[in-house]
Amino acid sequence: MTGDIIAGNKTIINNIIQQTAKQIVTAPYKFLSSYDISDRDIFFGREAVIEQIVGKLPRYKTLVINGRSGSGKTSLINAGLIPHLAENGYHYLSFREYSGPLRQLREHVAHNDVFKAYADQTDSLTQFLKAVTRQQNMRLVVIFDQFERFFVNILDTNIRTQFIQEIKACLERYLSGAELDLVFALREEFFGQLTREFVAHIPTFLKEADLFNLEPLNRDEARKAIICPLECLTTVKIGYDETFVDEVLLPGLMGESVGGLAIDPPHLQIVCNQLYEKAKEQNTAKLERGGVVEIIDASVDF
């Protein structure tokens, strides 16, 4: 995916996945990259989290996904939440960069097949969203991913205030929770700034929003993230030894985390990618023990 904004529906997601299917089934792990929408079919381990988040959306106008850097927020949104919602009839509009949100919206909508009919109604975010949801009778989720960039990239407080006022109008004047859901995802150290600036202009923001704290992977989640992508492979078939996964790999990954009780998703992806590439290079049938300690130790330095 490229661009500051992505938008679409179930049809667009299926087209993306179809176009990238060959690449995905030969690369089960992401190494240093986040998961994209095209990775839907190899994204495992967060099923329960996705169900929790989806269950919150009908009850709240706004959801804030909060988590430390590396907890997997962007991957969860791209490969988990967006495809799940689209499969259930939602349209999605997801911001990923922030230089001028309204300008970015205008530029994107003008070339988007789903929303370009409303290109003349992008003078305000509220006007655009109201037109789309009312005329198309659609359920829309607007996602502001990596929202810490809003505070880092937009230093002009007037521009930030203008955007927050747009959000206020969406919440208070026009759109109900039955038509629109707003999702903000950001690093935990910026949560305080979000609440300060938003509550200053939207006093009811925290009352109408729900906070979801995304934790690192627990053991069961990590196990699924390791073994399930291998089962999706259609070309280079590399399996796994359950004893190795349960008694060596998972304890090794957990041993590198703070407290030894969870696994950071990037750490898992780096290690599993290295093991997978080593198995391919050596033409072995499954992930093996050889060198796993060295791989885990080396991955800490990334």
The pLDDT assigned to 110 comes to 80
Domains of the chain, by residue range, sit at 5-213, 219-299
Residue 32 has pLDDT above 90, yes or no: no
Would you call 111 helix, strand, or coil by DSSP? Answer: coil
- pLDDT tens for each residue of 95-113: 988 988 888 888 888 888 8
Asked whether 133 and 45 are in contact (CB, 8 A), the reply is no
User: Once rounded to an integer, what is the mean pLDDT over residues 280-289?
Assistant: 77
Residue among 273, 285, 279, 286 at smallest CA distance from 28: 273
Q: Give me the residue label for tokens 């529906």.
A: 9
Distance in angstroms (rounded) separating the CA atoms of residues 302 and 292: 16
Residue 289 has pLDDT above 60, yes or no: yes
List the structure tokens of 240.
Answer: 């796994």
- Give the fold, CATH level 3, of 5-213: Rossmann fold (3.40.50)
Residue 3 has pLDDT above 70, yes or no: no
Q: Give me the residue label for tokens 């935990």.
A: 188
pLDDT > 90: what percent of the chain? 51
Q: Which residue has the higher pLDDT, 174 or 235?
A: 235
* pLDDT confidence band for 42 (50 / 70 / 90): very high
* pLDDT confidence band for 286 (50 / 70 / 90): confident
- pLDDT tens for each residue of 142-160: 999 999 999 999 999 999 9
Class of residue 106 by CB neighbours under 10 A (exposed 0-12, middle 13-18, buried 19+) = middle
User: Once rounded to an integer, what is the mean pLDDT over residues 278-298?
Assistant: 72
Residue among 172, 160, 169, 93 at smallest CA distance from 132: 93
Residue 302 has pLDDT above 50, yes or no: no
Distance in angstroms (rounded) separating the CA atoms of residues 300 and 205: 39
Rg (alpha carbons) of the chain, rounded to whole number: 21
Check: pTM over 0.95? Answer yes or no: no
The pLDDT assigned to 198 comes to 97
Residue 190 has pLDDT above 50, yes or no: yes
Residue 11 has pLDDT above 70, yes or no: yes
List the structure tokens of 146.
Answer: 């990596």
